[in-house]
Amino acid sequence: MRFTRRDAVVGGLIGTLASQSTMAWAQSLLAPTGQETFGPFYPVRGPRGHELDLTHFPGRPGHALGEVMVLSGRVTDRTGKPLPGAKITLWQANAAGRYTNPVDTNPAPIDPNFLGVVDFESGPDGSYKVRTIKPGPYPEPSGTIRTPHIHFDVSHADYRLVTQMYFPGEPLNETDILLSTLAARRRNPANAICKPVASEEPGVLGFQFDIVLLA
């Protein structure tokens, strides 16, 4: 079979179109949520049977101090396909910037009505919703102050993501030891910051944080 110059041109054109199509598909994918450190206050174990409301401690009459917030979002793959049943552990400091983890030596007070950690799974549509307290800033070993943030440990199939979520407009964001360096370490640092959304409860803050896995 004779291979002509026209065949070469057509073949090259097809290859170019295929390459452009592949590039367009790749660019349309969602940016994955970036990996981060576990941090020193990763919970040894999560609570058992705890409701998705961290503003009260099970079996105690009081409520946690601080600004109440509802955090919601979806867990998806890069195409936007929902990932139901993703296992999630969420942990954070209380409103004063103190973790319940015993290794936290911050002199800020422990809130006896705030557990600060919860285990749950994403719903059939990949969604989740947690009622909690907006965490406070706290000092870290290098001498700087960490900006308010919430930790996530998310597993689905064979993929595991450990990340941190930040809040928009926080004064400490520009100097935070991790957030201020995201641009140098991540392709899309903006997806580490949650979005303010309307809350169904008067006086309660609302935020949305979608999590994109490589799975």
Please indicate whether residue 50 is annotated as part of the active site. Answer: no
Cβ contacts of residue 43 below 8 Å, gap of 6+?
89, 91, 101, 117
Catalytic residue among 74, 149, 156, 166: 149
Beta-carbon count within 10 A of 33 CB: 25
- Determine whether 179 is exposed, middle or buried from the number of CB atoms within 10 Å of its CB (0-12, 13-18, 19+): buried
Catalytic residue among 99, 128, 156, 166: 99
Catalytic residue among 74, 98, 146, 156: 146
CB distance 134 to 66 below 8 Å? yes
CA 187 – CA 185 distance, rounded (Å): 7
Cβ contacts of residue 84 below 8 Å, gap of 6+?
121, 122, 123, 124, 125, 126
Structure tokens given for 40: 């020193």
Please indicate whether residue 151 is annotated as part of the active site. Answer: yes
Active site members = 99, 138, 146, 149, 151
